Amino acid sequence: MKFLTFIFLLATPAFAWHTVPHAEGIAQRIDGKKISGAAETGDNVYILIEPKQVLPQAEPGPEIAYRNIIFNYGDSYICGLQREIRITIDDSLERETDQIEGTPHDWHIFNKGFLTTHYGEVLSFESIAQADGSDLATRFLKAKKTIVFERKIDNCGDDGVFAFKFAQ
């Protein structure tokens, strides 16, 4: 599978982050392509990183902020409420650490669009901002070569691999 992904990445056109207006400020977007899998896709496959939003605080303390990561690939089916996505940035698997147990997982849980303020054919993930830049949104924006999303097979039998390749 890794060899096939590598071959498809060679043939995938290169893109770059570009700014887009957003109600909360300026968002960052990169376009991509589905390179394999059974997931139905629309014409616009992209990742959108929304501007940082700060949660209101009930008590004084450190700021809690996040950025929504929106993954659009045109999935309009309602087969489950979430999707599991394995993410690779510049050939390195990005693991998600469970906040309660502290154990790392290979799969990030994205919510279907109808569970958020983003209705339609998208998945979303809240990336909690970290002072050291280790949050997922910041890691995406620092990518140099590729971002690959591998969507785990769902209860409708769909899966997919999506590539976001940067111009060198």
What is the identity of the amino acid at 112?
Answer: K
pTM: 0.80
What is the identity of the amino acid at 138?
Answer: T
pLDDT tens, N- to C-terminus, the chain (168 residues): 555 444 444 455 567 899 999 888 999 999 999 998 877 776 678 999 999 998 888 888 888 899 999 988 876 666 777 888 999 999 999 988 777 788 888 888 888 765 555 445 578 888 888 888 889 999 999 999 999 999 888 777 778 899 999 886
